[in-house]
Amino acid sequence: MPKHKTKIIACAVLAEELRPEVPDDVDFIKLDFGLHQSPERLNRELQEEIDRSTEYENIVLAYGLCGMAMLGLKSETSTLIIPKVDDCISIFLGSKEAYLKQQFDYPGSYFLSKGWIEGQIDRLSPSMQELQRLIDKFGAERARRIFSVFEESKPLRHYKRMAFISTSDDSDIEQYRKIARERAAEQDLAYEEIRGTTDFLKKIALGIWDENFIVVPPGRSVTFDDFKSDR
């Protein structure tokens, strides 16, 4: 039985903006948002999906290193392709270099995107859930004052800027801007919008796997060295 050419296994954070770029002859699935909270569980779920996908020549993992969750993944039958980035922010900005420039020019930045907001990734930690409970009960201003007593437990205490990355002019973008502004106000952070790009997403979708990707042949495991910039 001949192999299908390519399957993309996508992080849900990327899926909304990646899916429109994927050709009809490429199979596409997304995994749950909540897997970000446990790299071990994400690794396990990805390996199980890889093991079920033996009929493909290529399996693209639309993730970054993601807390080391990619390490050790292996397919005995398919080539694995993974963006050579730490996380999805580099993908939304177009490159690892663009992300590093943002970090250098604006240290203390926390990034949001449509997918990040959809998945409420920054809401999943216990401390953020506690903050939300206080906001629901007392309102944002009083909740911040109460929460500031526990300064060391605040998840964004080292940040100064909430940066929303927009990659499109879709009609629904304003609702995400509104949420990002609200998140910034809750944490007393400056708000800024950054224009992102779909260039990296298109490379993932269209099979343009250049030096910004790791290509792991069948039978070999993904290693940390694969993510080093000089490889």
Per-residue confidence at 38, pLDDT binned at 50, 70, 90?
confident
pLDDT digit string (tens) for 142-186? 665 655 555 444 556 678 999 999 987 776 888 999 999 998 988
pLDDT digit string (tens) for 173-219? 889 999 999 989 888 899 999 999 999 999 999 999 999 999 999 99
Tokens of 80: 């694995």
Closest to 131 measured CA to CA, from 192, 190, 183: 183
Q: How far apart are CA 99 and CA 90, in angstroms?
A: 5
Closest to 90 measured CA to CA, from 165, 180, 189, 183: 165
Where in the chain are the domains? 4-86+198-227, 95-195
